[in-house]
Structure 1
Amino acid sequence: MKNNFWILAFGLIMLSSCKKPEKYNVSLVGDLYAKNIVGLPLDFPNGKENLEYSWYMASAPSGDWSELQGIWTDEIVLLTSYVGNYIKCDISYNEQGSDKKKRVSVVSSQPVEYKGNANTDWFQDAGFGIMVHYLKEAIVPDGGAEEWNKIVDGFNVDKFASQVNEAGARYVMFTLGQNSGYYCAPNKAFDKAIGIGAGELCSERDLPKDLIKALNKYNIPLILYLPSNPPINNKHVSEKLKYAFKKDSATSQFNQPILENMIKEWSLRYADGVKGWWFDGLYAWNDIRSTRMNMSLRHNISTHTLAAKSGNKKSIVTYNSGFGKIHGNTPYDDYTSGEKATIDEYPSGRWAEDGVQWFLFTYLGEKWGGHGQQFSTDSLVNKAEIIVNNKGVLCLEVVTDATGEIIPGHFDQIKAVGEKLRK
């Protein structure tokens, strides 16, 4: 979709006792459609200090403004609940060297509109992709940094990308890491928080970066997988991040900013090379969801989402609610998390709810990471065809060996699916 830049009306209110208000040509940038991001231009803070942002919505520019709690950043994700409302941002600041507070109020020139979610167009067009759990605990459970780096170095991205293309899968979801504390990409924010050197837990090789390059040859997008919480199976990491060891539990205002810094570092590095994020474990039963959705906290679902989208504002995100009927889990979802033990549900259309692409995610094996096959090939092909023909998106977890080669049984099945969908 062509990117439109909306110039929005503004007013200025002085919080100091100056005689005349100063004038600033301040405007917001972005499309006024639900599920998009709008924000202030990068050059706004010239000579200004201690910037603070508050966001509001109202049914009319002269109406009663209600504050959007928990949104304190210079950007905002426009939710479907904002549709039909005008958006206002109050920016308070000090001029350099002054202790007098000033405020600029920026009001949208028109209300937020709903036009589906164009950011998911490529995803719906793709229809079918695969996922790989490339994790230390699954591939090299014994040993430490030396063994992990050796394994990551041995992943053949060109062979993997060639297999994906041959199979007809049109996107890949890939794990950065999960519960062991080991990641397949460098991350300075994580190393600093844990107090370790490069290569000790985060691999020295940047595997996602190499994957992006290899997959781009075939125009195959990449989605990255991460849990919504810190690793739970590494005692040292749990202690440093002040998080419960071997127990899923709510994040805190100590470790949540660290998670966001990690995600933002990766997002900025990969930019539009990463088209989406799948965040695991935002469950109700472990209090992670309720804490992340608590908008009285400074770090919340909005700051988490903006961190993920910092490198690519058009990237799509979802937060996993766990097994169950396919549905949106948060107002920030661009697509359903769709975790299922099998394929037993089908879309009636593209949207699971307004702006949320219907998506189902299951495993080919007898369990997550299983080498067997839960589906007969004919049954799998038929199920995939129904989903894609009804404008849903399907993701099948496959198992690879340490070098990234998809095991034969799984490769044969996804190839059969790809061949059918190409026809």
Structure 2
Amino acid sequence: MKQPFFKHRWGVFTHFLYGCPSGTSNDPVSDNDWNGRTDYLDVEKIASQLHQMGAQYYFITIMQGRKYLLAPNDTFDRIAGTLPGEACSKRDVIADLIKALKPYNIDLCLYYTGDGPYQDVEIGKKFGFIEPREKVTKEFVTRWANVLKEYSLRYGDSIKAWWIDGCYDRWEYNWELLDLYRQAVRAGNPDTVIAFNNGVKPYLENWGDGDYTAGEFNDFIYFPKENEIPGAKTQILAPLGVRNDDKPWGAWACHGVKRDRAYMKDYIQKVNQAGGMVTIDIHIGADGSFDKEQIDILTNL
């Protein structure tokens, strides 16, 4: 496990999307203007807040479920039949984030999905995967991996890690199909690391032979054993926020804090002692502002 990325102790994750994860509100600039939303995002503000907190790496979503992507992509437009700026943003937010984070030596990492733009039915059909999302095919995964490959080639070694959501065994994902994503992200950076998410579990697993565990949990309550999964770096990902309805699951991108500063400091220390790292999902506003209470909890952990 010699990848430099794995030396980190903790980092931040945000969902910046056209829509919102269930139960959250991302304070959209407008209901329909994805280009307006991406243009309004202040990447310098993001970088400054991450530096203030002492975060060592930063994950941001490229997309989730819809046709709206965080940067231009010719491959997507060709398959989907969309014009530049119609689905993928005109602004290359990822390239701008790379520039903004570089002075602070904060690693940029990206979130992608294994189910494509399934909610936009006509485009989802062109890729080959729509509701009820029962079984992925090699044709779908190949098309969707080619979109990913374009990003990988563009950004090269500026992207240190990838977290691929929705790679569920219930959709009949297997090692052969997941390897298409692995090849795509390594086309631009052979040293990047990747994790495949097979859903929230009460335990850690290394699905798809990833370089690190996807480690999705609903709270910071799982304490891993030292080097729990041989060959994979232990990584825990959970949301710090609290849902408005007080349900314990799915508080992604929410305001508020479910754990106090002392708890988070102790939790990160214990995961680090077991050889792991902790990724903390927090709220991001339309202009890139983080939740102030969450900033206060996380600063200089």
TM-score, structure 1 normalization: 0.65
Paired with 1:353 and 1:253, the residues of 2 have a C-alpha distance of: 28
Select 2:54's aligned residue among 153, 156, 168: 168
Output the amino acid matched with 1:326.
L
Paired with 1:232 and 1:244, the residues of 2 have a C-alpha distance of: 4
In the TM superposition, what is the alpha-carbon distance from 1:208 to its structure 2 partner? 0.7
Select 1:222's aligned residue among 90, 104, 108: 108
Q: Assess if the C-alpha contact under 8 Å between 1:123 and 1:393 holds in 2.
A: no
In the TM superposition, what is the alpha-carbon distance from 1:242 to its structure 2 partner? 2.8
In the TM superposition, what is the alpha-carbon distance from 1:391 to its structure 2 partner? 2.1
The residue number in structure 2 matching 1:88 is none
Percent identity of equivalent pairs: 28
Paired with 2:187 and 2:172, the residues of 1 have a C-alpha distance of: 22
Output the amino acid matched with 1:327.
E
Paired with 2:149 and 2:157, the residues of 1 have a C-alpha distance of: 13
Q: Could you list the per-position Cα deviations for residues 362-404 of structure 1 after superposition, in whole angstroms to 9, with x for gaps in the alignment?
A: 0011211221221122222211121123321000001111011
Other structure's SS at 2:19 match? helix
Output the amino acid matched with 1:132.
T
Select 2:142's aligned residue among 257, 262, 269: 257
Q: Could you list the per-position Cα deviations for residues 333-373 of structure 1 after superposition, in whole angstroms to 9, with x for gaps in the alignment?
A: 00000000111222332x33222001100001121122122
Q: 1:153 to 1:141 in 2, by over 3 A?
A: closer
The residue number in structure 2 matching 1:360 is 236
In the TM superposition, what is the alpha-carbon distance from 1:141 to its structure 2 partner? 9.1
The residue number in structure 2 matching 1:70 is none
Instruction: Tell me which protein shows more strand as a share of its residues.
Output: 1
Paired with 2:180 and 2:220, the residues of 1 have a C-alpha distance of: 33
Residue correspondence of structure 1 range 19-98 to structure 2 within 5 A: none
Q: CA RMSD in A?
A: 1.6
The residue number in structure 2 matching 1:127 is 9
Question: Which protein, 1 or 2, shows the higher relative CO under an 8 Å CA cutoff with sep ≥ 6?
Answer: 2
Q: Could you list the per-position Cα deviations for residues 33-84 of structure 1 after superposition, in whole angstroms to 9, with x for gaps in the alignment?
A: xxxxxxxxxxxxxxxxxxxxxxxxxxxxxxxxxxxxxxxxxxxxxxxxxxxx
Q: Could you list the per-position Cα deviations for residues 14-51 of structure 1 after superposition, in whole angstroms to 9, with x for gaps in the alignment?
A: xxxxxxxxxxxxxxxxxxxxxxxxxxxxxxxxxxxxxx
Instruction: Tell me which protein shows more helix as a share of its residues.
Output: 2
Q: Could you list the per-position Cα deviations for residues 153-181 of structure 1 after superposition, in whole angstroms to 9, with x for gaps in the alignment?
A: 11111111011011011000110001121
Residue correspondence of structure 1 range 273-288 to structure 2 within 5 A: 273-285=158-170, 287-288=171-172
Instruction: State the aligned residue count.
Output: 286
In the TM superposition, what is the alpha-carbon distance from 1:258 to its structure 2 partner? 1.1
Q: Assess if the C-alpha contact under 8 Å between 1:360 and 1:393 holds in 2.
A: yes
Paired with 1:327 and 1:396, the residues of 2 have a C-alpha distance of: 19
Output the amino acid matched with 1:280.
D
TM-score, structure 2 normalization: 0.90
The residue number in structure 2 matching 1:378 is 262
Paired with 2:283 and 2:207, the residues of 1 have a C-alpha distance of: 27
Paired with 2:84 and 2:72, the residues of 1 have a C-alpha distance of: 7
> Which consecutive residues of structure 1, in runs of 5 or more, have no partner in the other structure?
1-116
Pairing 1:317–2:199 present: no
Q: 1:338 to 1:204 in 2, by over 3 A?
A: same
Paired with 2:58 and 2:45, the residues of 1 have a C-alpha distance of: 14
Select 1:305's aligned residue among 182, 188, 191: 182
Q: Assess if the C-alpha contact under 8 Å between 1:281 and 1:288 holds in 2.
A: no
The residue number in structure 1 matching 2:278 is 394
In the TM superposition, what is the alpha-carbon distance from 1:266 to its structure 2 partner? 0.1
Q: Assess if the C-alpha contact under 8 Å between 1:328 and 1:352 holds in 2.
A: no
In the TM superposition, what is the alpha-carbon distance from 1:280 to its structure 2 partner? 0.4
In the TM superposition, what is the alpha-carbon distance from 1:254 to its structure 2 partner? 2.5
The residue number in structure 2 matching 1:113 is none
Pairing 1:179–2:179 present: no
Structure having the higher Rg: 1
The residue number in structure 2 matching 1:212 is 98
Q: 1:410 to 1:163 in 2, by over 3 A?
A: same
> Which consecutive residues of structure 2, in runs of 5 or more, have no partner in the other structure?
21-25, 243-250
Output the amino acid matched with 2:294.
H
Other structure's SS at 1:264 match? helix
The residue number in structure 2 matching 1:326 is 204
Q: Could you list the per-position Cα deviations for residues 196-234 of structure 1 after superposition, in whole angstroms to 9, with x for gaps in the alignment?
A: 100001000000111011111111111100111212211
The residue number in structure 1 matching 2:246 is none
Q: 1:317 to 1:175 in 2, by over 3 A?
A: same
Output the amino acid matched with 1:191.
D
Paired with 1:321 and 1:224, the residues of 2 have a C-alpha distance of: 17
In the TM superposition, what is the alpha-carbon distance from 1:251 to its structure 2 partner? 2.0
Q: Assess if the C-alpha contact under 8 Å between 2:240 and 2:280 holds in 1.
A: yes
